[in-house]
């Protein structure tokens, strides 16, 4: 079994070039992230951008994303989040969607398979996996060996009520598919703009920070934005197991506040 390195980058929330979100320029943050990846992880087997590529699904934001990704040295795959729009995305990235219209893929990495799920449900903040998507996953896991699943919405609650209410809805269908195959080694999600880890139905999971702004660690009350530094995840998988690192990257623009 090969040892592999996967980078997870999530929740870019790109707006139109020159625009700002939560006091920061998301496109500038993406440029800084890509520069850091090229500096330290040009050898990555795959970079997964796990959804919320844009904040409002604007065509110009997707076009800006495509331009910046041209500078990324490692191979990459893009995923959908609840802030994305499939039609605008497909106009810029026409080869990303499958025959059923969902943006999903199973990437063979030599003894490991990265399975990318589309949990975006238009008009809903929470994620969903319909029978079509679950059926695709069922087929993708056949003979997949050691599978690593990426999805925008975490299926597990992380103990922050303001975030748990918009996780993957009706996750029992996903759990049933995973139990049937027994070859999924880890789950990776975005959406919550925080680093959290645990186990769900006996399978380890991890979430990752946004490249632009974070969610405060608030175990009660409404959702609050946090200005902790942006980060990406470095996932190392090999014969001895899986390790997940969180890596902050330097930014030219620090945002409106240095702390939380």
> What are the pLDDT digits (tens) for 188-234?
999 999 999 999 999 999 999 999 999 999 999 999 999 899 999 99
CB of 186 closer than 8 Å to CB of 146: no
Angle at 92 between CA 86 and CA 98, to 5 degrees: 50
What share of residues in the chain are helix, strand, coil (percent, to 5)?
20, 25, 50
Per-residue model confidence as pLDDT tens digits over 86-102 = 999 999 999 998 879 99
Per-residue model confidence as pLDDT tens digits over 60-89 = 999 999 999 999 999 999 999 999 999 999
In angstroms, the CA 1 to CA 76 distance is 21
CB of 203 closer than 8 Å to CB of 184: yes
In angstroms, the CA 189 to CA 205 distance is 8
What pLDDT score does 98 carry? 86
CATH of domain 4-248: 3.60.21.10
Structure tokens at 239: 């014969």
Per-residue model confidence as pLDDT tens digits over 154-195 = 999 999 999 999 999 999 999 999 999 999 999 999 999 999
How remote is the C-alpha of 30 from its chain's centroid?
14
CB of 209 closer than 8 Å to CB of 193: yes
Residue spans of the domains in the chain: they are: 4-248
In this predicted structure, the answer to whether residue 255 has a pLDDT above a threshold of 70 is no
In this predicted structure, the answer to whether residue 258 has a pLDDT above a threshold of 50 is no
CB of 126 closer than 8 Å to CB of 90: no
**Is pTM, for the whole model, over 0.85?**
yes
In angstroms, the CA 161 to CA 222 distance is 8
Per-residue model confidence as pLDDT tens digits over 28-61 = 999 999 999 999 999 999 999 999 999 999 999 9
CB of 64 closer than 8 Å to CB of 27: yes
Per-residue model confidence as pLDDT tens digits over 96-141 = 988 799 999 999 999 999 999 999 999 999 999 999 999 999 999 9
Q: Side by side, which strands form the sheet with 112-116?
A: 105-108, 112-116, 146-151, 184-189, 203-207, 197-200
Structure tokens at 159: 């103990």
Residues 6+ apart with CB under 8 A from 114: 6, 46, 48, 77, 105, 106, 107, 147, 148, 150
């Amino acid at each position: 079994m090969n040892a592999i390195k996967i980078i997870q980058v999530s929740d870019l929330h790109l707006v139109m070039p020159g625009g700002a979100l939560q006091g920061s320029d998301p496109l500038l943050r993406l440029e800084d992230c890509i520069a850091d990846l090229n500096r330290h992880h040009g050898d990555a087997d795959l970079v997964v951008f796990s959804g919320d590529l844009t904040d409002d699904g604007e065509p110009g934001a997707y076009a800006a994303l495509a331009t910046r990704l041209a500078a990324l040295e490692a191979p990459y795959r893009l995923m959908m989040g609840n802030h994305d729009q499939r039609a605008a995305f497909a106009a810029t990235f026409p080869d990303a969607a499958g025959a059923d219209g969902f943006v999903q893929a199973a990437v063979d990495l030599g003894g490991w398979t990265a399975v990318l799920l589309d949990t975006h449900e238009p008009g809903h903040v929470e994620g969903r996996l319909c029978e079509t998507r679950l059926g695709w996953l069922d087929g993708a896991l056949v003979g997949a060996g050691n599978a690593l699943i990426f999805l925008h919405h975490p299926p597990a609650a992380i103990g922050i009520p303001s975030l748990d209410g918009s996780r993957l809805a009706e996750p029992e269908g996903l759990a049933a598919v995973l139990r049937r195959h027994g070859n999924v080694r880890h789950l990776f999600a975005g959406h919550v703009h925080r680093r959290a880890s645990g186990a769900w139905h006996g399978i380890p999971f991890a979430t990752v920070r946004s490249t632009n702004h974070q969610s405060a660690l608030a175990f009660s009350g409404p959702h609050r934005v946090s200005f902790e530094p942006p980060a990406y995840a470095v996932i190392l998988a090999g014969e001895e197991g899986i390790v997940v690192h969180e890596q902050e990257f330097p930014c030219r623009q620090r945002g409106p506040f240095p702390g939380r």
